[in-house]
Amino acid sequence: GWYRKRFTAPALARSTVYFAGATHWKQIWLNGVPYMNHTNGYTPFQVEVPPGENVLSIRVDATFGSGHWYEGGGLNRKITLVTVPGAAWLAPGGVFIDPHSSGDAVSIQAEVAAPAALDGLSIRFTVRDPDRHEAVVGAVTLAVAADEWRGAAGPAVALVKGQLTPTEKLALW
């Protein structure tokens, strides 16, 4: 079936439409232009949208039978407009904490994206323990050189790494 939604994305922010899944094969158009194809009804995908008025069109083909749990089709999972204000943001799934970190120091890396390369950036990380208490708080000031950013067609992306010191010895799980 076909789905179409007209909406306005805010200015001065990065906006994406996040799909938790749609069964099964999808063709996506943004503002009348082919944007992407996506297969598999059980994996999420997202569409980055520019500020202002947008029209998102999706064709979902459910004739491909998966033989798994759900044989229906369409937009059957949650869809969310995610808006991140500011000049830079963390890429979805872009934060990685090294599982081999000791309880005394935490190695963290993050994939940061921005509309264009930035000269410097300050990121504050907070890591919570299983009881949701702040276990690690740290601010890392990053000076990312212009040649460290990649991505000419879309947002610039840089991988940044740092070491954080826990507020107290971590109980690693």
The answer to whether residue 153 scores a pLDDT higher than 60 is no
Mean per-residue pLDDT for 47-76? 78
* Cβ neighbour number for residue 75 with a 10 Å cutoff: 17
Res 42: pLDDT: 76
Query: Tens digit of pLDDT for each residue in 77-106?
Result: 888 888 877 767 777 677 777 777 766 777
Q: Using CA atoms, how far apart are residues 89 and 50, in angstroms rounded to an integer?
A: 15
pLDDT tens sequence across 15-28 = 888 888 887 788 99
Averaged over 54-82, what is the pLDDT? 78
CA distance linking residue 10 with residue 144, whole number of Å: 27
Q: What is the pLDDT of residue 97?
A: 76
Distance of CA 23 to the CA centre of its chain: 21
| pLDDT (0 to 100) of residue 29 | 93
**For residue 170, what pLDDT is reported?**
61
